[in-house]
Amino acid sequence: MTLTQCTAHELLALYRSGAASPVEATQAVLKEIERLNPRLLAYCLVDEAQAMANARASEDRWQSHRRQGTPVGALEGVPASIKDLVLTRGWPTRRGSLGVSPDQPWEIDAPAVARLREAGSVLLGKTTTPEYGCKGETNSPLTGYTRNPWNLERTPGGSSGGAAAAVAAGLGPLAIGTDGAGSVRIPAAFCGNVGMKPSFGRVPAYPLSPFGSVAHLGPHTMSVADAALMLQVLKQPDARDWTALPPDGSDYTVGLDDGIRGWRIAYSPTLGYARGVHPEIAAALDQVAETLQALGAVVERMDPGFEDPLEISTGLWFAGAWQVWRQLTPEQQAVADPDFKAQALIGETCSADALHTLNQRRGLLGSHMRQFMTRYDLLLTPSVAVPAFEVRPPGSVPMDAQAMLGWTPFSYPFNLTQQPAITVPCGLTRDGLPMGMQLVGPMFGDALVLRAAKAFESTRPVLRPAIGA
């Protein structure tokens, strides 16, 4: 196995023994970025000089650790990337937009970035996103089309598509993504990775998203163990986020291998309303349910009993898009992604009364799911209803609620309810495209989600894409 295909845990073990160094791992990843990024467009910014300087500093700390036992960070020397929606000191955060000038002070680290630095991670650069994270595929007038490492004609999903493509292709084992309606989980499922949306507020954010309390930050990784380790780092408190949850005192890396015997899992292949689930995905999820049962869980086929909240999710999103749009200059609007413009203009028509009604309906959904989850430890669903579809240009599909999110009916409900949810690979289609299964936990049940995901992951071989020279 090459260093670029190592998980964070594997790299840390190599560093601990002295069999490899952060410098060697970072050099290998940077070389792979140079080789593959022109085709994938996973990164919109790579800072080789800073990455190597940080890698050398990490190597010094590891040498001191091996000689004298001095402490090292939890992610000491592990390469990582930052989605281009998340503020990063010294690097432009252009949000996938031609309208955001890079020529301005960039002096702030968002909490997640600050925590990665404190943990010793080697930051490589910024990963691509559609403009303002506006859709479940990654294309924009700024960066062009990001492609899926499993098939370059397919999308990696979005809006954390650059993060997903990078992790899948071995361009850094850890990535920070954001998830407002599935934006970590959709691309993770499309690219065969692990992606987690924690409970809202578990990972502090600053500034808060213009799309409000549906927006989460979470880890995008090669393995569940890496997701647990990364989330353990990211969840540390930051006073800048007034919506953040108080520290829960748990360690997500402890008890990961304790299994799920006796757990109650509701299995809902359609949530009671999803149509057009790809038959291979449906068959794969039946097998996942059987696997979880073989691991000792009590799996019951049960829909949670709510109607499709597509109108709620897209209505709130379109209203948020309008709030961003109305603050742009005419010059910025003129170069905007047509999909983002279309969303904003729909949002312009949302009255205060309509917005209030949407939030009331959201509250009822959240209450319903809180009650449903008193009967079950977890809910199992597909991650996405379809495999990765073809790369397509911005504005190629007329924008409405169905076009935006209708093909991913399993993701957005749990942004509305704020529950933790994770996607884990569960096989490939006959066309060689990844499929994902989703585990949803009760609010604040992040540790449960990780533990069950790890149990399932342990039953399957790790599959990575082969990208030619």
Q: Work out the widest C-alpha separation in the chain, in whole angstroms.
A: 65
Distance, in Å, from the CA atom of 265 to the CA atom of 108, rounded to the nearest integer, reads 42
- The catalytic position among 21, 183, 268, 313 is 183
Pairing of strands 79-83, 122-127: parallel
Distance, in Å, from the CA atom of 112 to the CA atom of 88, rounded to the nearest integer, reads 9
Distance, in Å, from the CA atom of 409 to the CA atom of 395, rounded to the nearest integer, reads 21
- Report H helices in 41-156: 48-68, 111-118
Q: What are the tokens at 385?
A: 């209803």
Among residues 121, 4, 125, which one has the least CA distance to residue 54?
121
Residues, the chain:
469
- The sign one gets for the Cα dihedral 78, 38, 184, 433 is negative
347, 320 Cβ separation under 8 angstroms: yes
Among residues 338, 345, 342, which one has the least CA distance to residue 394?
338
218, 423 Cβ separation under 8 angstroms: no
Helix, strand, coil percentages (3-state) for the chain, rounded to 5, are 40, 15, 45
Active site residue 83: yes
Query: Bridge partners of 45?
Result: 126
The per-residue b/e assignment along 301-325, b for 16 or more CB within 10 angstroms, e otherwise, is ebbbebebbbebbbbbbbbbbbebb
Distance, in Å, from the CA atom of 438 to the CA atom of 190, rounded to the nearest integer, reads 13
- The catalytic position among 83, 126, 135, 235 is 83
| Residue 5 DSSP class | G
Count CB neighbours of 105 within 10 A. 7
- The catalytic position among 159, 160, 199, 268 is 159
Full DSSP string of 338-371: HHHHHHHHHHHT--HHHHHHHHHHHHHHHHHHHH
**Annotated catalytic sites, by residue?**
83, 159, 183
